[in-house]
Amino acid sequence: MIDLRTRYHQLRVGEKDIPKVAFRTRYGHYEFLVMSFGLTNNPATFMDLMNKIFCAYLDQFVIVFVDDILIYLRSLEEHKQHLVTTLKTLRRHQLYGKLDKREFWLTEMNFLSHVGSEAGIVVDYSKVEAMQKWQRPTNVFEVRSFLGLATYYRRFVEDFSRIAASMTWFIRK
């Protein structure tokens, strides 16, 4: 897994867009030359870039989620090739990862609250444990909160919609 360093600061603002992200203080006029955090379209713009540069590899051996890049493998030899391809792609587009947050050649890892291993993708059991220990909801807000967590894992629960139907009925408007 590779975590990109200061994701938005690695992307230059288009020349025509620089005045749009400028600001003024009593000390002067300032213009961002790179994307700053907090702009409305940053996440979509960044994901669009990542999807474009990794298009040929998505669902082949790469999963991208904002600034996290997961390289998965079938064999150690394939993984080496995929890692080199991924790193070359990042370098070609002048994107850089955090060395302290990279992890290679893992047999199991947690990614987006799922655990990936040779067996496939399974739920993160710490999340299952959290659901089991969840206090019984006493109001609509608490039911929504619990359903939000439970629904995230619906693909792992057979007949989830039937099981959750009574809670869903309870929170309807």
The residue ranges of every structural domain in the chain are: 2-106, 125-171
Which residues have a Cβ under 8 Å from the Cβ of 78 and sit 6 or more positions away? 61
Cα–Cα distances in Å, from 153 out to 43, 75, 92, 98, 120? 24, 28, 36, 29, 15
Amino acid at 121: I
Residue recorded with tokens 């493998």: 73
The pLDDT assigned to 89 comes to 93
Helix (H, G, I), strand (E, B) or coil at 134: coil
Question: What DSSP designation does 58 have?
Answer: B
pLDDT attached to residue 29: 95
Assigned CATH topology for domain 2-106: Alpha-Beta Plaits (3.30.70)
139: its two tokens: 């109001």
Q: Which pTM does this prediction carry? A: 0.62
Looking at residue 77, its pLDDT comes to 76
Q: Taking phi first (over 0 means left), then psi (-120 to 50 degrees means alpha), and beta for anything else, what does residue 72 get?
A: beta
* Residue 64 phi, psi (nearest 5): -120, 130
Sequence-ordered strand ranges (E) for the chain? 2-3, 23-25, 28-30, 62-65, 68-71, 108-111, 114-117, 120-123
pLDDT mean values, one per 10 residues, the chain (173 residues):
73 88 93 82 84 91 81 76 90 83 66 67 78 87 88 84 87 76
What angle do the packed helices 140-152 and 125-133 form, to 10 degrees? 160
The residues near 19 (Cβ < 8 Å, ≥ 6 apart) are 31
Q: How far apart are CA 100 and CA 118, in angstroms?
A: 25
Structure tokens at 143: 């039911």
